[in-house]
């Protein structure tokens, strides 16, 4: 039986069922909601994130009109296995996951590390991908990406000393508006109270940091071969993946559309400006696409 025919859409991300699917003997945890028809949007998560780290306002907003699937990377949250040490291996896992669910074509939303993964998938599997949204992310070798490890560890220590979630410092500005937005976002992440996902383990966190450092230390990537329409978005004050990378992506990608950098916003700009982002994302995903995609080597 096709997996898609067994999926029952949930009314909201807050109570979406957590399912699992075996990918070459390894169970991957995921949640799906929204209409079962049309091209699904696959959510590719950021550093240290599990299923519960997606803003329910973003997921519910897009799922009102599109099928949305969030999943845990290998070794993260409810997914089994060992977390890969490279972005390329994470992308390979994502492709296998998509194919096991039975989809021939998907859209991608990659946030931060998930944006790195989305770039690899789009380049290696052009016929599997229809459209891509890149948020708070940058190209291989991008400015400041190799500094993510040090920045994250400092924020984690600061969070421990101040009894704050590190995302308050990493995702939002330190203005009054940024602090309010951060608190509101962190409150929304707690709306789900039943069947919450597992926190990332320390070995998996270290593996992801190593993968991100390798991505940042690589030679600058040539993205001109990615044929897909791409929506690029960020805040104007991203500390984790400096906002200059967003402009760099827009310049390198042949068919990119740059949403203005959100003012007084940082790495979590799509969460801070969730209403505006959802509207722009839906407009982008629902716009007609006419150019055929070239064939590519499968992963």
Residue 243 · residue 234 · CB < 8 Å = yes
In 3D space, the residue among 242, 259, 266 whose CA is nearest the CA of residue 177 turns out to be: 266
Distance, CA of 105 to CA of 127 (rounded, Å): 7
Answer whether residue 8 shows pLDDT above 80: no
Structure tokens at 224: 């001109």
In this prediction, residue 246 has a pLDDT band, given cuts at 50, 70 and 90, of: very high
Give the residue-averaged pLDDT of 59-83. Answer: 97
In this prediction, residue 135 has a pLDDT band, given cuts at 50, 70 and 90, of: very high
- pLDDT tens by residue, 158-214: 777 777 888 998 999 999 999 999 999 999 999 999 999 999 999 999 999 999 999
For position 5, what pLDDT does the model report? Answer: 44
Distance, CA of 34 to CA of 278 (rounded, Å): 14
Higher pLDDT, 159 or 40: 40
For position 294, what pLDDT does the model report? Answer: 44
In this prediction, residue 266 has a pLDDT band, given cuts at 50, 70 and 90, of: very high
Ordered DSSP codes for 187-202: HHTTS--SSPPPPPPH
Q: In the chain, what percentage of residues exceed pLDDT 90?
A: 79
Cβ within 8 Å of residue 97, ≥6 positions away: 21, 23, 28, 30, 71
Structure tokens at 97: 């996951």
In this prediction, residue 85 has a pLDDT band, given cuts at 50, 70 and 90, of: very high
For position 124, what pLDDT does the model report? Answer: 94
Domains of the chain and any CATH numbers = 3-286 (3.40.50.1820)
Strands (E) across the chain are located at: 19-23, 26-33, 41-44, 68-71, 106-111, 129-135, 230-233, 256-258
């Amino acid at each position: 039986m096709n997996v898609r025919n067994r999926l029952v859409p949930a009314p909201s991300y807050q109570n979406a069922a957590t399912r699992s699917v075996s990918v070459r003997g390894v169970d991957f945890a995921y949640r799906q909601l929204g209409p079962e028809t049309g091209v699904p949007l696959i959510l590719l998560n950021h550093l240290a994130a599990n299923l519960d780290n997606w803003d329910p306002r973003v997921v519910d907003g897009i799922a009102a009109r599109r099928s949305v699937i969030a999943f845990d990377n290998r070794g993260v949250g409810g997914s089994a296995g060992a977390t890969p040490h490279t972005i390329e291996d994470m992308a390979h896992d994502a492709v296998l996951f998509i194919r096991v669910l039975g989809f021939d074509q998907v859209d991608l939303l990659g946030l931060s590390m998930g944006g790195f993964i989305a770039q690899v998938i789009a380049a290696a599997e052009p016929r599997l991908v229809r459209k891509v949204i890149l948020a708070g992310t940058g190209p291989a070798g991008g400015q400041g990406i190799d500094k993510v490890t040090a920045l994250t560890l400092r924020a984690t220590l600061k969070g421990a000393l101040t009894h704050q979630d590190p995302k308050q410092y990493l995702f939002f500005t330190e203005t009054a508006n940024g602090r309010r937005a951060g608190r509101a976002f962190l409150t929304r992440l707690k709306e789900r109270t039943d069947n919450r996902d597992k926190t990332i383990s320390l070995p998996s966190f270290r593996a992801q940091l190593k993968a991100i450092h390798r991505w940042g230390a690589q030679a600058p990537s040539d993205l001109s071969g990615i044929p897909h329409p791409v929506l690029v978005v960020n805040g104007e004050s991203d500390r984790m993946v400096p906002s200059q990378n967003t402009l760099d992506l827009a310049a390198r990608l042949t068919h990119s559309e740059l949403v203005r950098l959100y003012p007084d916003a940082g790495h979590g700009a799509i969460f801070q400006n969730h209403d505006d982002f959802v509207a722009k994302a839906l407009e982008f995903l629902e716009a007609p696409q006419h150019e055929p995609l070239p064939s590519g080597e499968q992963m």
